[in-house]
Amino acid sequence: MNDLLGVDELVAERQRFMDTIESLSEEEFEQGRTLCAAWAPRDVLAHLIGTTQLTRYVRSGLRVNAVNKEIVDEGRRLGRAELTRRGHEWASSPSVTDRASARFLIGDVCVHHQDVLRGLGRSREIPAVAAGAIFREGVLLSIGTKRNLLQNRVEPTTVGGRTLGRGRTVRGATEVLGLWLAGRKGLDAELEFVDP
């Protein structure tokens, strides 16, 4: 049943993210650059742990940015050891709501994993499942932005995605297209833009 819902892959991706967190120096953890503006890796970790608090987002009237800020601010009051302990618990024991929405959450953790790695100038071998999850997350996050699929036709050049949209053609690796659609900056050199 877990495989059908994507729970096993969610746990695997969360554990990969935690492996990266554990590998960071104290300075990288506390102050390292990420692709999330104004967030260090510790903040990304706090945010990801906080996404399990679905009712908190609903009670706020889905004011996602405000809740994210509250969660990150709360995380900043925790030491690395406690935040990391909570991260390992989050990674290995998904809540009931996390299990029910595992396929969606895989994209979120994969995007944020790349935020940390790319921000620090690191990379990893991205499994096709993770690349596809990043692409799906990017498509979802592009709705209502200038990077949406009504203005851009995205053409993945690697496995995990498929051609979608209309307008200007944007070609590149599935993972990079997903991050670009999700609004991440600094990726243009890895993409090919072709006006219609």
State pLDDT tens for residues 49-103.
998 887 777 777 767 788 889 999 999 999 999 999 999 999 999 999 899 989 8
Examine the pLDDT at 117 and tell me if it is beyond 90: yes
pLDDT band at 3 (very low <50, low <70, confident <90, very high): low
pLDDT at 62: 67
* CA gap 110, 118 in Å, rounded: 12
**Average pLDDT over every residue of 136-162:** 94
Say if residues 94 and 12 touch (Cβ distance below 8 Å): no
Residue 68, amino acid = N
Provide, rounded to the nearest whole percent, the portion of the chain with pLDDT above 70. Answer: 97
31: three-class secondary structure by DSSP: helix
Examine the pLDDT at 183 and tell me if it is beyond 80: yes
* CA gap 87, 196 in Å, rounded: 45
Q: Which residues contact 127 (CB under 8 A, 6 or more apart)?
A: none
pLDDT band at 175 (very low <50, low <70, confident <90, very high): very high
User: At which residue do the structure tokens 């940390």 appear?
Assistant: 116
108: three-class secondary structure by DSSP: helix
pLDDT at 1: 44
For the record, the structure tokens of 173 come out as: 């690796």
Say if residues 132 and 173 touch (Cβ distance below 8 Å): no
Examine the pLDDT at 4 and tell me if it is beyond 70: no
Phi first, then psi: give them for residue 49, nearest 5 degrees: -60, -40
